Amino acid sequence: MESFREEQLIFYCAVPGSGWAKLSLLLSCCAKLNINKTDRRPEWEERGRLGDTNHVFHKGCYWDPQREYGGGFDDIGKNYSKESFIKECLRPYLEHDDRNYLIKSHFFAETKNLNWLIENFPNNKIIFVLREAKPCFEGWHTGMSFTGHYPNYKAWMARTDKDMCKENYDKLWKLIKKHDGMIRRWISDKNCYIIQPNKHFLNQLGYVWDNEGKEEYMKMMHTHQFYSTPIPMYDAPFCFYNCDDIFSIKS
């Protein structure tokens, strides 16, 4: 921990249903990002509500309000000092070394949070996934529930006595729309690259084609709804902020 550098925190943000979890698994296979995976536990694996494949889509920690980690991430500046925020980010990791930490939170999307992040971590990478609100809502609805799967979505619930009910879906929809708009407006005047995760680009990020890499890629291409073969939809690009050092597009 003594050798920890702030820049090892990579902030990752998108709205529910965007496919960000699956896309994060691609990022974790990219050597140039050098992601620490010691936040992964068997109890933090999720195959989704349909459960019709053997693929694990959610792996590792997800920070957000009303979860075990990131309980105060609805307003980071109000609930944390810089030091206590870093501690909260690192808490679920079992090993600490020179690898980077991919900190995943939907609530980073709040404009006040994004502004706080770049004020306190001006040199850190932020990676978003952009996807239209409607397919996100439909995608989440198909694969997840508010409390029955990992991670929970209690912070998106309007009433806690029922899981899948209209009031909860209404609140989820409103939050998806709000956060989607906030992300898009925030990035619109920032120096960002918006890039689709195709094979060639992943190779530029040093994608490792070992068993894990192959599995994550095939999972993405063959089972994800917006990558139905043989014609990828390309409707969920990454948006990279402050990531220039990992870009080296070569023939």
Give me the residues that bind other proteins (CB under 8 A), please: 130, 132, 181, 184-185, 187-188, 190-196, 198, 200-201, 230-235, 237, 247-251
Count the neighbouring beta carbons within 10 Å of the beta carbon of residue 18: 28
What is the Cα–Cα distance from 46 to 66, expressed in whole angstroms? Answer: 18
By C-beta, is 4 or 201 nearer to other proteins? 201
By C-beta, is 159 or 185 nearer to other proteins? 185
Name the minimum Å distance from CB 217 to other proteins: 13
Q: Which of 197, 213, 35 is closest to 128 using CA atoms?
A: 197
By C-beta, is 167 or 209 nearer to other proteins? 209
By C-beta, is 33 or 86 nearer to other proteins? 33
By C-beta, is 153 or 238 nearer to other proteins? 238
Name the minimum Å distance from CB 140 to other proteins: 19
Name the minimum Å distance from CB 192 to other proteins: 5
Name the minimum Å distance from CB 194 to other proteins: 4
By C-beta, is 70 or 197 nearer to other proteins? 197
Amino acid at 160: T
What is the Cα–Cα distance from 201 to 248, expressed in whole angstroms? Answer: 10
What is the Cα–Cα distance from 207 to 101, expressed in whole angstroms? Answer: 17
Length of the chain: 251
The residue behind tokens 């949070």 is 113
The alpha-helical segments, DSSP class H, found in 99-148 are 111-120, 133-143
Name the minimum Å distance from CB 204 to other proteins: 8
Name the minimum Å distance from CB 224 to other proteins: 14
- Name, in order, each residue with C-beta under 8 angstroms of 140's C-beta and a sequence gap of 6 or more: 16, 17, 172, 176
Q: Which of 27, 31, 4 is closest to 93 using CA atoms?
A: 4
